[in-house]
């Protein structure tokens, strides 16, 4: 979408102009209300077009059902706040719709040798895992992305040889683990040739979509999950699915250029307000680590989004930001999917997510192709 077709901002309470550059695309997905929200709470987030939503807490709340900490919120400040994003998905959207407007447009870039990353951000229970992984009836963005990647590869098989490998890992309590071959904590290294890597992470070559789905299901079973107040099956780790693609012209000689690219699909752990949670002990520590790494991610986004900022980008403040270093600021097409609940129950979480997403629109990066390096072989041998 061109900037000129977006609604212009005229100040507070009006549409904010989306300034997503070529590299960072920001979309918001509003999930349907769940049973607990349906009757007792009202909707505070509404998609009013494909590119705009209104966050509107001025609607009268039923007495006795005010959100926790509602006094912290200055209602006039939040009145009828409109946000423009590259795309806004309403509650009836499917994972396929989200794929088409997000990775659908960047898979082509991966096959042209550009790095890509997609990450789902949002509060606990907002719909990140549903969007990225989905389930057997409604497979998520990762599945659709891989199906599209294989389809495009098959279309070009006569002219090019491709080598595709995937990995699936999690960052939990500031430790990185392999989800496909679990065996302890793994270190993050920065390699001059291939960028940021997880040393010792297993790489796999699924031969079909079914094998890939099986792999995702297996990896997800190994992922750390614990119930929270907002989600009975809350993912308490950041899950990182990576796809490495090498390609070479078929008729060229052995020394010909190898085009290489990396795609990173991340399902972040849900943010949770410490004041809102009744978690204690290990769960509290877990929540604190999640919030710490998401704060570090927010600081990196803020630094990258600030055109005037010339200082050091604080990637090293958490494992998550170290891992995403070349997916955020570096040589990468990035898509952020911000997931929100429609409900007044998650009023502050939604506001915080929208602010985070609004800030991310300003990140720009210099994207160029990686060529002449065989990433899959470098990582596998
Ligand atoms: N778009 C959607 N359509 C239908 N159900 C949804 C949708 N989004 C989320 N849900 C349901 O809401 C619940 C919470 O969603 P999900 O687990 O994806 O949240 P999350 O943001 O990943 O939370 P956490 O950070 O705690 O892991 C799940 O039962 C999920 O199936």
CATH of the domain at 187: 3.40.850.10
Q: Calculate how far, in angstroms, residue 128's C-alpha sits from the geometric centre of ligand 1.
A: 6
Tally Cβ neighbours within 10 Å of residue 258. 21
Cα–Cα distance list, 216 to 149, 151, 169, 254, 353 (Å): 16, 19, 11, 34, 27
Which residues make Cβ contacts (< 8 Å) with residue 152, sequence separation at least 6?
107, 108, 111
Report if residue 32 sits inside a domain.
no
Question: SS3 of 98, please?
Answer: helix
129 labelled as ligand-binding?
Answer: yes
- As a whole number of angstroms, the distance between CA 265 and CA 242 comes to 6
Nearest one of 194, 191, 192 to 165, comparing CA atoms: 194
Report if residue 33 sits inside a domain.
no
Atom of ligand 1 nearest to the CA of 236: 27
Identify the band that residue 116 occupies on the pLDDT scale cut at 50, 70 and 90.
confident
- As a whole number of angstroms, the distance between CA 370 and CA 55 comes to 41
Q: Calculate how far, in angstroms, residue 133's C-alpha sits from the geometric centre of ligand 1.
A: 10
Cα–Cα distance list, 286 to 48, 222, 281 (Å): 36, 17, 9
Check whether 282 has a pLDDT greater than 50. yes
Q: What are the phi and psi torsion angles at 50 (to 5°)?
A: -65, -15
Check whether 155 has a pLDDT greater than 60. yes
Q: Whose CA is nearest to atom 8 of ligand 1?
A: 127
Question: Residue 291: which region, alpha, beta or left (left: phi > 0; alpha: psi -120 to 50)?
Answer: alpha
- As a whole number of angstroms, the distance between CA 117 and CA 122 comes to 17
- As a whole number of angstroms, the distance between CA 267 and CA 28 comes to 14
Q: How much is the CA Rg of the chain, to the nearest whole Å?
A: 21
Ligand 1 pocket check for 235: Cβ under 6 Å: yes
Q: Whose CA is nearest to atom 23 of ligand 1?
A: 125
124 labelled as ligand-binding?
Answer: yes
Q: What are the phi and psi torsion angles at 355 (to 5°)?
A: -65, -45
- pLDDT at residue 277 in the model: 52
Report if residue 256 sits inside a domain.
yes
Using a pLDDT cut of 90, give the percent of the chain over it: 31
Report if residue 21 sits inside a domain.
no
Report the predicted TM-score, pTM, of the whole model to 2 decimal places: 0.83
Q: Calculate how far, in angstroms, residue 132's C-alpha sits from the geometric centre of ligand 1.
A: 10
- Average pLDDT of every residue of the chain: 79
Q: Whose CA is nearest to atom 14 of ligand 1?
A: 125
Nearest one of 175, 67, 161, 79 to 123, comparing CA atoms: 67
Report if residue 45 sits inside a domain.
no
Report if residue 27 sits inside a domain.
no
Report if residue 77 sits inside a domain.
no
Q: Which domain holds residue 174?
A: 91-343+359-379
Its ipTM equals 0.98
Q: Calculate how far, in angstroms, residue 126's C-alpha sits from the geometric centre of ligand 1.
A: 6
Identify the band that residue 300 occupies on the pLDDT scale cut at 50, 70 and 90.
confident
Ligand 1 pocket check for 223: Cβ under 6 Å: no
250-258: Cβ within 8 A, 24+ apart: 250/158, 250/159, 250/160, 250/161, 251/159, 257/371, 257/372, 258/371, 258/372, 258/373, 258/374
Question: SS3 of 116, please?
Answer: strand
Ligand 1 pocket check for 341: Cβ under 6 Å: no
Q: Can you read off the two tokens belonging to residue 362?
A: 């300003």
Report if residue 265 sits inside a domain.
yes
Asked if residue 82 lies in contact with residue 15, where contact means CB atoms within 8 angstroms, the answer is yes
Atom of ligand 1 nearest to the CA of 271: 25
Q: Which residue has the higher pLDDT, 194 or 81?
A: 81
Nearest one of 82, 78, 28, 30 to 57, comparing CA atoms: 78
Structural domains counted in the chain: 1
Cα–Cα distance list, 207 to 18, 62, 136, 164, 268 (Å): 40, 54, 19, 10, 27
- As a whole number of angstroms, the distance between CA 328 and CA 162 comes to 26
Question: Residue 45: which region, alpha, beta or left (left: phi > 0; alpha: psi -120 to 50)?
Answer: beta
Q: Calculate how far, in angstroms, residue 187's C-alpha sits from the geometric centre of ligand 1.
A: 30
| Beta pairing class for 116-122 and 333-340 | parallel
Check whether 65 has a pLDDT greater than 70. no
Range among 134-148, 288-302, 319-333 with highest mean pLDDT value: 134-148
Cα–Cα distance list, 69 to 34, 36, 40, 270, 276 (Å): 21, 19, 17, 19, 9
Give 318-360 pLDDT, tens digit per residue: 999 998 887 776 667 889 999 999 988 888 889 889 988 988 8
Ligand 1 pocket check for 124: Cβ under 6 Å: yes
């Amino acid at each position: 979408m061109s900037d000129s077709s977006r609604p212009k901002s005229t100040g507070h309470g009006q549409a904010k102009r989306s300034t997503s550059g070529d590299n960072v695309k920001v979309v918001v997905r509003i999930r349907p209300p769940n049973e607990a929200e349906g009757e007792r709470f009202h909707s505070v987030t509404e998609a009013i077009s494909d590119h705009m939503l209104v966050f509107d807490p001025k609607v009268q709340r039923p007495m006795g059902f005010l959100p926790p900490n509602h006094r912290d919120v200055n209602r006039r400040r939040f009145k009828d706040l409109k946000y423009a994003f590259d795309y806004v998905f309403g509650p009836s959207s499917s994972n396929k719709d989200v794929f088409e407007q997000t990775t659908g447009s960047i898979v082509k870039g991966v096959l042209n040798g550009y790095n890509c990353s997609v990450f789902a951000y949002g509060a606990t229970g907002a719909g990140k895992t549903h969007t990225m992984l989905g389930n057997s009836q409604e497979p998520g963005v990762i599945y659709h992305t891989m199906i599209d990647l294989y389809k495009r590869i098959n279309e070009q098989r006569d002219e090019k040889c491709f080598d595709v490998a995937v990995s699936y890992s999690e960052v939990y309590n500031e430790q990185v683990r392999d989800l496909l071959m679990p065996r302890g904590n793994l270190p993050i290294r920065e390699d001059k040739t291939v960028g940021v890597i997880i040393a010792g992470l297993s790489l796999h070559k699924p031969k079909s979509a079914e094998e890939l789905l099986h792999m995702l299901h297996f990896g997800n079973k190994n992922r750390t999950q614990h119930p929270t107040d907002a989600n009975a099956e809350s993912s308490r780790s950041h899950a990182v699915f990576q796809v490495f693609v090498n390609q070479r012209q078929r008729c060229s000689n052995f020394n010909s250029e190898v085009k290489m690219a990396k795609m990173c699909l991340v399902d972040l752990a849900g943010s949770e307000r410490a004041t809102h949670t009744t978690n204690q002990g290990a769960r509290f520590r877990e929540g604190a680590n999640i919030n710490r790494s998401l704060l570090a991610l927010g600081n990196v986004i803020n630094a990258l989004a600030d055109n005037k900022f010339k200082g050091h980008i604080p990637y090293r403040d958490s494992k998550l930001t170290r891992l995403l270093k070349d997916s955020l600021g570096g040589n990468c097409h990035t898509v952020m999917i911000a997931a929100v609940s429609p409900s007044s129950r998650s009023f502050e979480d939604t506001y915080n997510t929208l602010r985070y997403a609004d800030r991310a629109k300003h990140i720009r990066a210099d994207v160029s192709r990686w060529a002449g390096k065989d990433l899959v072989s470098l990582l596998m041998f």
